Structure 1
């Protein structure tokens, strides 16, 4: 059946918009490989409801509009990117992949100076140069459409990557991956191409669902921070753009009427860490969020600035500052922003929160307002995202959303909902890692994390 371009509109209201990337690519390889440059363009001709349409896409030419989601393609140098892709070529059947963490984007000026010995055995020169000595294990998320098939092939090629679970076969490995925690299977302290890496395998539908619905915020939270995307899928690009917008909206519900850039980006960064047992039990640097934002402020701007401009209830206090060429490179800036606290606008934000997350928030207020069960179920049915006639309903806040938005305890309730979303999957995932990594590598990882936390 012939595929027709999908007409989906943007939410940018015709403002001048910074877009990252050159001519839009129609293949996975060229889409990811395009240069992450910056240009300016008016989007007056693009309608404003792309979020309300979520068709399955077969290729990048069907994305909502030219350059859609190029804000996600953050820049590293080409040699480093090629080295990372060279590592991924050692793995079978990848549909989407990204590298993340301090081994890719530094979180401290002192990182390189503290390293006395590189953990890599014989890494490419580009990795040594990018890491200023090659002192960090590199973390990857690898998404595949068929995880059991992936593990079957990967066990043949790299059985030493697996703990004792690998000897039980790909069926057991994929079951452990999908059935417990957040749907990720980690293999840490693995040497590939002379480079020490840690990688997690996830199902592509699991990744897409977490980006769209915030089932666990485990995978969505990683993509809310600067990452280096290496292999792409058009449906994940759309899902992640919705994830990034959701992160801004959720953070606005937690923030006061005025705040700074760093306060916004710290709130976004902290979403997936709330309830994470590593933060609660001293296995993470207590200044981790602050370090990420302070040292990656430019990348946060490239990732979120266009989305900030897309929201009608959020503005920069000094609009002239963001119109100056090269402002995003000024790491000394910490611009102020203002949000409209009108309950109708905030009700629309509540309505546009990811489905699983929004329903948890609704349950919080069902208890508070003592809404009878049948009445509440009817209300949930009325707020379903999908239209029985086909397609997706336009997400406009209703009376219940506006009532929630007017409550003074909304930030507290949103925070409780984040904790409820993150805590259990993250805890189970942490316990699971001792089985997937094996006891020795699991304890090594925990020990090194605690040592880094003590150094903070």
Structure 2
């Protein structure tokens, strides 16, 4: 469980900002201050116990107290020791230990790590006969330093790009694609893995603002956290909440859990060229149906705490179509998506001589009530996702090397062909 103590948590201003981003209805969240959380304070040499209320200003403490009185889930209250516990998913214990042991083999410091993909949520341990590749993401503080240390320990993990030095590798990681540097087909402790390295700063920005949706979209789906970080957990709770809001804005008044999770799981694939060639066309449905319990744990408390959603007796949900509620969801869209959606609406209004309200709240309600909203969402998500997904894949040819890239592409193509039959 995450204890909100000074040496592990983000600064007070960040916790307050995330609290407002999750629940506040009184302000527009689309400011630069909410887009990129400040870095956490340096680790303390000793543990100092501080009462959680000291992390919050009076306004935020009063707001959180009102939420508790309305019986909000503890996992959604930023001052609760159970905050974000919905992100912890259970997997086979033997496999969990195997995956943790893989991360422990890296001498370079990994602040945050998770494993993902269908192989992670299998019922048994790692199958050494078939050796499926297990996927990892490592969040690190200083990519240049991290790659320097890792190249000393594991030079064979890298393509010939390592000859250009760790600073060049770090620059390629940050400046090209989605900010992730992958090393595939690496064997550790008898497990074949692919691991991606990303800076904590870039990871948190994507989770909160959906800059590329490359990792934020990956974390909309079940992942197994192997090494936790308080700042990332805060940012990902925002990410998961934003995914629910986006799904609700494109779902009908009545819907069931499977429909909700398929909407959420499909967000990051809109505009991804790999869904045309290279990925199983039934991937979204397969992910949801095979991991339904994990999706339920991730999202049910978030959905249950939304005031405009009611749980019906027949397993369905019903959302309030009141323009005020839906306008607030538009207002709270992730900053990058918000900018794109507003641009789409203004463009549509200009072409069709539609009057735009001067009042922002009325503008949000107009967008939420528009029959064109699904089109706005689709075009906006494509604008965000297409370029980073393409450039990240091209980058992979150089970071992995030609042989590993060919092997990886062949495996993906085989799944695509098999899925299309």
TM-score (norm 1): 0.73
Find 2:185's aligned residue among 174, 183, 189: 189
**Alignment check: 8 A CA contact 2:92 2:121 kept:** no
Find 1:82's aligned residue among 82, 93, 97: 97
- d(CA) in 1 for partners of 2:182, 2:226: 18
* Count of aligned pairs: 358
RMSD value, Cα: 2.8
Which residue does 1:269 correspond to in 2?
265
Find 1:345's aligned residue among 306, 325, 331: 325
Offset at residue 169 of structure 1 (A):
0.7
For structure 1, the 5+ residue unaligned runs are 13-26, 28-43, 50-61, 107-111, 113-125, 322-334, 383-396
Find 1:253's aligned residue among 249, 267, 277: 249
Which residue does 1:56 correspond to in 2?
none
Offset at residue 103 of structure 1 (A):
1.6
Which residue does 2:309 correspond to in 1?
314
Question: Kindly tell me: are residues 435 and 69 of structure 1, through their superposed partners in 2, closer, same or farther at Cα, counting changes over 3 Å?
Answer: same
Question: Kindly tell me: are residues 132 and 89 of structure 1, through their superposed partners in 2, closer, same or farther at Cα, counting changes over 3 Å?
Answer: closer
Find 2:226's aligned residue among 230, 253, 256: 230
Offset at residue 134 of structure 1 (A):
5.6
Offset at residue 363 of structure 1 (A):
1.1
- d(CA) in 2 for partners of 1:178, 1:80: 31
Q: Secondary structure at the match of 1:104?
A: helix
Find 1:164's aligned residue among 160, 164, 172: 160
Question: Kindly tell me: are residues 220 and 177 of structure 1, through their superposed partners in 2, closer, same or farther at Cα, counting changes over 3 Å?
Answer: same
For structure 2, the 5+ residue unaligned runs are 25-43, 45-62, 69-76
**Alignment check: 8 A CA contact 2:128 2:190 kept:** no
Which runs of 4 or more aligned residues in structure 1 lie more than 6 Å from their structure 2 counterparts after TM superposition?
4-7
Offset at residue 340 of structure 1 (A):
1.3
- d(CA) in 2 for partners of 1:202, 1:219: 9
Offset at residue 105 of structure 1 (A):
2.1
**Alignment check: 8 A CA contact 2:128 2:191 kept:** no
**Alignment check: 8 A CA contact 1:11 1:310 kept:** no
1:169-224: CA deviation from partner (whole Å, max 9, x where unpaired): 10111011000110000111011111100000001000000000000100001111
Q: Secondary structure at the match of 2:154?
A: helix
Find 2:208's aligned residue among 205, 212, 224: 212
Offset at residue 405 of structure 1 (A):
0.9
Q: Secondary structure at the match of 1:47?
A: helix
Find 1:103's aligned residue among 111, 119, 128: 119
Q: Secondary structure at the match of 1:182?
A: coil
